[in-house]
Structure 1
Amino acid sequence: MYLIEPKRNGQWVYDPGVSMAIQDYVKDHIFLDDDVMFPYMMDPVVQIGKYQNAYEEVNQPYMDDHGIKIVRRVTGGGAVYLDDRNMSFCFLIDVNQSNDIFGNYKRLYEPVIEALKKLGVDENLLEQKGRNDLVLDGKKISGAAMTVEKGRVYAGYSLLTDPNYEAMVSALNPNMKKLESHAIQSVRSRVGSIRPYLAPEYQNMTVWEFTDYMLCELLGIDDVSEAKRYELTKEDWANIDQLTAEKYHNWDWNYGRFQQFEYKMTERFPVGTITVGLVVKQGKIADVQITGDFFGKKDTKEIEAALKGVRLRKADVLEALQPFDLSDYFGNISTEEFVSFLMSEKVPTT
Structure 2
Amino acid sequence: MKKLNNSIVFSKSSNPWFNLALEEHLFSTIHEDQVIMYLWQNNDTVVIGSNQNPWKECDLNKIEADGVKIARRLSGGGAVYHDNGNLNFTFITDNALYDQERQMNVVLEAVNAFGVSATFSGRNDLLIDGKKFSGNAYFLGDKASFHHGTLLVCTDLMRLSKYLTPSNHKILSKGIDSVSSRVVNLNSIKQEITIGGLQESLIRSFQAEYGECATPKTFFQDSSTVQELAGLYEKYFSWQWIFAESPSFEVHFEKDYDWGEIWIGLVLVDGCIHEMEIFTDTLVSTFVQKMKKALQGIPYDFHSVEKALLSVASTNEEKPLFEDILLLFKECL
**Aligned residue number for residue 135 of structure 2:** 143
2:3 corresponds to: none
Q: Which runs of 5+ in 1 are unaligned?
A: 7-11
Q: Does 1:239 align with 2:228?
A: yes
Single out whichever of 26-35 and 311-320 deviates more from structure 2: 26-35
Distance 1:317 1:305, change over 3 A: same
State the Cα RMSD in Å: 2.6
* Residue of structure 1 aligned with 2:10, choices 5, 9, 14: 5
Distance 1:330 1:266, change over 3 A: farther
Deviation at 1:33, TM superposition (A): 4.8
Partner of 1:293 in structure 2? 281
Q: 1:26 to 1:116 in 2, by over 3 A?
A: closer
Taking structure 1 as the reference length, what is the TM-score of the superposition?
0.84
- What pairs with 1:54-203 in structure 2 (closer than 5 Å)? 54-98=54-98, 101-102=99-100, 104=101, 107-121=102-116, 123=117, 126-198=118-190, 203=191
- Taking structure 1 as reference, are residues 330 and 173 closer, same or farther at Cα in structure 2, changes over 3 Å only? farther
Match of 2:199 in 1: 211
Give me the whole-angstrom Cα distance separating, in 2, the residues matched to 1:244 and 1:166. Answer: 30
The answer to whether the aligner puts 1:322 opposite 2:310 as a matched pair is yes
**C-alpha distance in structure 2 between counterparts of 1:325 and 1:176, whole Å:** 32
Structure 2: distance between partners of 1:297 and 1:267:
16
Of 84-93 and 290-299, more deviation after overlay is shown by 290-299
Q: Which has the higher contact order (CA 8 A, sep 6+)?
A: 2
Which runs of 5 or more structure 2 residues have no equivalent in the other structure?
1-5
Question: Contact conserved, 1:297 with 1:329, CA < 8 A, in 2?
Answer: no
Residues 251-281 of structure 1 show CA distances to partners (whole Å, capped at 9, x for unaligned) of: 1111001242111101223333221100111
CA distance in structure 1 between the aligned counterparts of 2:257 and 2:26, rounded to whole angstroms:
53
8 Å Cα contact 1:77/1:145 also seen in 2: yes
Size of the alignment, in residue pairs?
324
Q: Cα–Cα, structure 1 residues 308 and 329, in superposed 2: closer, same or farther, change >3 Å?
A: farther
Shift, 1:191, TM fit? 1.4
SS of equivalent to 1:141: strand
Distance of 1:325 and 1:189 partners within structure 2:
49
Distance 1:327 1:145 in 2: 53
Letter in 1 for 2:97: Q
CA distance in 2, matches of 1:83, 1:309: 35
**How far has the Cα of 1:112 moved from its partner?**
2.2
Contact (CA 8 Å) 1:18, 1:241: kept in 2 or not?
no
Q: TM-score, normalised by structure 2?
A: 0.88
State whether residues 49 and 78 of structure 1, in contact with CA within 8 Å, keep that contact through their aligned partners in structure 2. yes
